[in-house]
Amino acid sequence: MIAAVVSLTLLGAVLGLMLGFADRLFAVEVNPVIAQVEAMMPGSQCGQCGFPGCSAAATAIVDGRAAVTICPPGGKALAAALSAKLGISLDLSDVVDEGPKLAQVAEEICIGCCRCTKACPTDAILGAAKQIHNVIREACTGCGNCIERCPTEALTMRPIPVTLPHWVWPKPQVA
Amino acid sequence: MHGQWHEMCGVVARNTGTLLMSLLNEFALLMVTTALVNNVVLVKFLGLCPFMGVTKTLDTAFGMGLATTFVITMASGVCWMLENWVLLPLGIDYLRILTYILVIAAVVQFTEMVVKKNAPDLYQTLGIYLPLITTNCAVLGLPLLSALEKAGFVHSLLYGFGSSVGFTLVLLMFAGLRERLALARVPAAFSGAPISFIAASLLALAFMGFAGLAAK
């Protein structure tokens, strides 16, 4: 038994050391800002910006190939945060931000086809075949992927209803 | 005296020549056997995940084939050393699969680092399939098979290399077929995965024909 334990431990240690050295040897220089920008994005990989995911979008933004306003789910708040982070001056007046929205199922026309559940990147839509679906509000990121999948147009993007726990004082309008 | 010397040289040269010829013969035979007759994908049905997964285009199939070839050849060599210098002398051959998987995982990690550094585009296109080489059963199966046959070091290396060349060959052929299929008019019921499966089975049938090469 000791032989087994010692030999496997040694093998693991040797392989680990070799991989550690290889990691140093083959290290790829990555701009650390990209990871920071990616952490600020919604992370739902919805693809509304036209890039295959938030990671690719973050790379494009840092490289200057994309504007900071390309992220629809992030809205004005993300654009402002990104411009502050990257030191880009930004005119937010022409950015249309209708406030955060969530998907909602109209239960009287949902036929329970399950197409929206497959499109949802965050598994926010509940439902089984021929059962009325519903959206878990806490999990929905408002990417809108499910809207066009719905054959009966039962899914719509609705503004988040204002309730006491998350009502905020409206900000004063600038001029 | 002089004539004797010449004669001796001739004998030595002839012996070396026949030895080289027999080695080359064996090498060619082993390559044909492993790459074609006992093809790892289409005859032994190992490693079917990348066979269906990364054969949409020729480029990815070739990259995947090269990466898997490197991993299998390396793993075959290292696993042979561990088998004969560690596992058998210590009598712990019941740890064979565990040890092999450990080695394979390390080699795959190493390959991933190299590919990421030297071919970022390939790294992007291979995506999840690169770390999944670890769970490619061909990579574990080939060292296990050569351990079962108690093959020598060079033999196991060649066995691994030949099999992975066969793997790459089949991946390339199937990718070519699928690139053609993408342009062909396929009935709606067969389009996508079903027609790929049918093409794969026809390719496997074709490879069954190589079985005749072995029984001569």
Q: Which residues contact A3 (CB under 8 A, 6 or more apart)?
A: B90, B91, B92
What's the total number of domains in chain A? 2
ipTM over 0.95: no
Is residue A86 located within the same domain as residue A110? no
Q: Which residues pair with A102 in a beta bridge?
A: A158
The residue segments making up the domain with residue B29 are 2-214
pLDDT for position B168: 94
Query: A115: domain CATH number?
Result: 3.30.70.20
Q: What is the mean pLDDT of residues B57-76?
A: 89
Contact assignment for A8 to B99 by CB distance below 8 Å: yes
Is residue A80 located within the same domain as residue A116? no
Q: What is the mean pLDDT of residues A29-39?
A: 86
pLDDT for position B38: 87
Is residue A63 located within the same domain as residue A85? yes
DSSP state of A164: G
Enumerate the residues of chain B whose CB falls inside 8 A of the CB of residue A11: 82, 86, 99, 102-103
Q: In the structure encoding, which two tokens stand for residue B176, read together?
A: 């070519």
Q: pLDDT tens, A51-66? A: 878 888 898 988 888 8
Domain assignment present for A11: no
Q: pLDDT tens, B177-205? A: 999 988 888 898 998 889 999 999 999 99
Q: pLDDT tens, A3-15? A: 889 989 999 999 9
DSSP state of A162: P
pLDDT for position B203: 92
Helix axes B96-118, B137-148, angle to 10 degrees: 130
Domain assignment present for A26: no
The residue segments making up the domain with residue A124 are 101-161
* Among B residues 90-129, those touching chain A with beta carbons less than 8 Å apart: 90-92, 95, 98-99, 102-103, 106, 109-110, 113-114, 116-117, 120
Is residue A69 located within the same domain as residue A85? yes
Is residue A115 located within the same domain as residue A62? no
Q: Which of A59, A75, A93 is the C-terminal boundary of a domain? A: A93
Contact assignment for B86 to A15 by CB distance below 8 Å: no
Q: Pick the residue of A2, A15, A25, A29 with the most B CBs within 10 A to test the interface with B by mutation.
A: A15
- The alpha carbon of residue B50 is apart from the nearest alpha carbon of chain A, in Å, by 22
Is residue A120 located within the same domain as residue A157? yes
| Distance between start and end Cα atoms, chain A | 79
The reply to whether A8 touches chain B by the CB within 8 Å rule is yes
Is residue A115 located within the same domain as residue A67? no
Domain assignment present for A46: yes
Top-confidence range, A111-120, B10-19, B207-216: A111-120
Is residue A52 located within the same domain as residue A79? yes
pLDDT for position A66: 86
Q: Which of A73-82, B8-17, B164-173 has the lowest mean pLDDT?
A: B8-17
Domain assignment present for A27: no
The reply to whether A19 touches chain B by the CB within 8 Å rule is yes
pLDDT for position A151: 92
Domain assignment present for A38: yes
Contact assignment for A26 to B113 by CB distance below 8 Å: yes
